[in-house]
Amino acid sequence: MAAPEKLLTPGEPPSLAQAQSQVDPPLINLKPVNWFFDLNRAMSLWPVTFGLACCAIEMMSASMARFDIARFGAEVFRPSVRQADLMMVTGTVTRKMATPLVRLYEQMPAPKYVMACGNCAISGGPFKFDGQYAVVEGVDQLIPVDVYVPGCPPRPEAILEGVFKIQELITGRRWWPLPREMAS
Amino acid sequence: MDLSLAIFVQIIAAVLLIIALMVGNAVVMVYMERKVAGFIQRRPGPYEVGPWGTIQAICDSMKLLAKQLYRPGNVDLILYYLAPVLAFFPVLLLFLPIPFGPWLTALHINEGIVLILAFAGLGVLSNLLAGWASNNKFSLLGAARAVAQTVAYEIPMILALLAVVFLSGSMDLKRITEQQGQWPWEWNILLQPLAFFIYLVSLVGETNRAPFDLPEAESELTAGFHTEYSGMGFALFFLSEYANMLLVSFVAAVFFLGGYKGPIADGFWWLFIKAYAVMFFMVWIRWTFPRVRFDQLLNLNWKWLLPLGLLNLWATAIIMKIFL
Ligand code: SF4
């Protein structure tokens, strides 16, 4: 059995330890093979069912009828982190949630990506003020973040755009056309 | 000697074809499940990866193949790796006695249904091993539920199938098919509607799918018995789940829907059309009904399906005795 967890005594702040996870280098490091698997990874990003605060509502809305993240193959919300690829940190990371969050991140198997959704996850958002004691100011203090999606909350389109950015990060190119105003 | 060699070659060829069928079925079913889920929830489902999202399932399987294999500490090493393999292989065997067409049976034995029912129990053994070996409380709870549920639902299933066996006086899947006619009104479903209903309910329970998917209820048990499996271990569980669905649908088609017989021309296409209709039904109810509670699940089984099945069997036997 693992060592018993230290219980928090009242008044003692939870530790803000960085996530430790080690990823082995690929056994077969050939360019076409990597390109092929990267393409497949980008096209099936399964997120963890992991919502922390109000931004999670936007994540749910992004997977439902009007916005439908399923079109890009990213709708399989896995309850177990072992089978997921993408962690959307949607919402306020409190100090108490920091430990489970880090543990969940460490439990994900290797090609794993993190999207910080909303101002809270990026920098503490509206909860950042002098003398605040409860909120982690930015989830990147705990785990490495790949894509930041700003907004309070970000619109579902922004979350979709974050998924595209992660796909771009994996494969090196953008796959879907830009909106008309942005393209011109 | 010659004969046994021929049978040996035949079985090897059949097993290869069945593996191809299982994998192809999983790809089709993943796509169909996600598409149907999308349409039920008024969204397009997979759409952009390939034309209408058709290569989505292939991308998923390739990704799972390249995913890090993660083994938590404190697991039972042998059982942990054995369980997904054990989930996959017994299903292979179960396809052997299915008559795909008048001349297309891998292994013609006269008690085919006994073979299927006997080995169907092995599938749940792999779930139990997976839950036990993972050394995780959620996995173990999921495994215990899987065993309780499968053992319970096997009984009404057997009672329903037994009624058809009484009717046709044979346990041979081929003979049961031959005794039904080409047209829908000559099929067993009209003679045994109650048995078909009982079978339809218990096959959902048997394959652990929603609304009876308590072994993997994510609101209580993270992901049930496969919580600790990543990558290919998880993919094998997925594959065997879809293969199990296909198998029970084939059995439903053979016993109640006339097997490979159909209007115009007999052949394997009719069996596949009927089996996929049953599978579509399973996907449909999965996305429209909420999950039941565990006591409701077992009450439904022991208080309704089992007495109904016994009554049906009894009535069938009496009618057969008096009128035939
Ligand atoms: S960024 Fe705004 S909407 Fe999102 S969790 Fe924080 S307060 Fe809520």
Distance (Å) from the C-alpha of residue B47 to the closest C-alpha of chain A?
4
Confidence of residue A11 (pLDDT cuts 50, 70, 90): low
| Higher pLDDT among residues A47 and A26, named by residue | A47
Read off the pLDDT of each residue in A97-104 and give the average, rounded to a whole number. 85
- Give the Å distances, CA to CA, from B241 to A118, B123, B134, B247, B287: 38, 9, 19, 10, 17
Structure ipTM: 0.77
Query: Residue A58's domain spans which residues?
Result: 47-171
Enumerate residue ranges in chain B where pLDDT < 50. Answer: 1
Please state, as a whole number, how many other Cβ atoms lie within 10 Å of the Cβ of residue B161: 26
pLDDT value at residue B184: 77
Residue A72, pLDDT > 50, answer yes
pLDDT value at residue B311: 92
Residue A97, pLDDT > 80, answer yes
Parallel/antiparallel/unpaired status of strands A147-149 and B99-101: unpaired
pLDDT value at residue A1: 42
What CATH number does residue A68 fall under? 3.40.50.12280
What residues 135-154 of chain A have any CB closer than 8 A to a CB of chain B? none
> Does A139 map to a domain?
yes
pLDDT value at residue B3: 66
The C-alpha angle with vertex B170 and arms to B167 and B171, in degrees rounded to 5, equals: 115
Question: Rounded distance, CA B151 to CA B164, Å?
Answer: 21
Residue of A nearest to B238 (CA): A83
> Does A10 map to a domain?
no
Separation of CA A52 and ligand 1 centre (Å)? 9
Nearest CA to ligand 1 atom 3: A153
| Higher pLDDT among residues B123 and A46, named by residue | A46
Ordered by start, the domain boundaries in chain B are 69-323
Read off the pLDDT of each residue in A148-153 and give the average, rounded to a whole number. 88
Q: Is A51 in the pocket of ligand 1 (CB under 6 A)?
A: no
Read off the pLDDT of each residue in A125-153 and give the average, rounded to a whole number. 85
> Does A39 map to a domain?
no
pLDDT value at residue A8: 54
> Does A155 map to a domain?
yes
> Does A165 map to a domain?
yes
Domain count, chain A: 1
> Does A41 map to a domain?
no
Query: What SS3 state is found at A90?
Result: strand
> Does A177 map to a domain?
no
Confidence of residue A14 (pLDDT cuts 50, 70, 90): low
Query: What SS3 state is found at A114?
Result: strand
> Does A20 map to a domain?
no
Separation of CA A127 and ligand 1 centre (Å)? 9
Read off the pLDDT of each residue in A79-88 and give the average, rounded to a whole number. 86
